[in-house]
């Protein structure tokens, strides 16, 4: 039986903010991008929810996974690298909200 999946809410170029959730247990969202604003590069498609799978759940519904670009200067206080340095992170949709 195919896994149920959600349709993507965001598209390439959309500005998104990573939600500041205090989730106990397993999650796939790094602390250093929480609360930060980035730009969606693309949606990879829908995948099982790893936060459910980690505890024996089904991972359903499959959720959109996005490649989101962040400015390094926004992420790291005192960042001394080049102005245009970027970080790309894969983020599941339930962690994102419109910016």
Residues 6+ apart with CB under 8 A from 26: 50, 51, 54, 55
Q: Which tens digit of pLDDT belongs to each residue from 58-85?
A: 989 899 999 999 999 999 999 999 999 9
What pTM, to 2 d.p., does this model score? 0.89
**Contact (CB, 8 A) for 29 and 16:** no
Look at residue 59 and tell me if it is in a domain.
yes
Look at residue 86 and tell me if it is in a domain.
yes
As a whole number, mean pLDDT of residues 7-32 equals 90
Look at residue 90 and tell me if it is in a domain.
yes
- CA–CA distances in Å: residue 53 to residues 26, 47, 72: 9, 11, 31
What's 49's domain CATH number? 2.30.30.50
Look at residue 4 and tell me if it is in a domain.
no
Structural domain including 30 reads 15-98
């Amino acid at each position: 039986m195919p896994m149920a999946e959600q349709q993507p809410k965001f598209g390439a170029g959309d500005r998104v903010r990573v939600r500041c959730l205090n989730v106990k247990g397993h999650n796939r969202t790094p602390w250093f991008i929480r609360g930060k604003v980035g730009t969606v590069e693309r949606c990879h498609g829908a995948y099982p929810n790893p936060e459910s799978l980690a505890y024996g759940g089904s991972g359903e519904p499959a959720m959109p996974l996005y490649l989101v670009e962040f400015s390094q200067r926004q992420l790291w206080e005192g960042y001394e690298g080049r102005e245009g340095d970027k970080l790309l992170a894969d983020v599941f949709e339930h962690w994102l909200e419109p910016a």
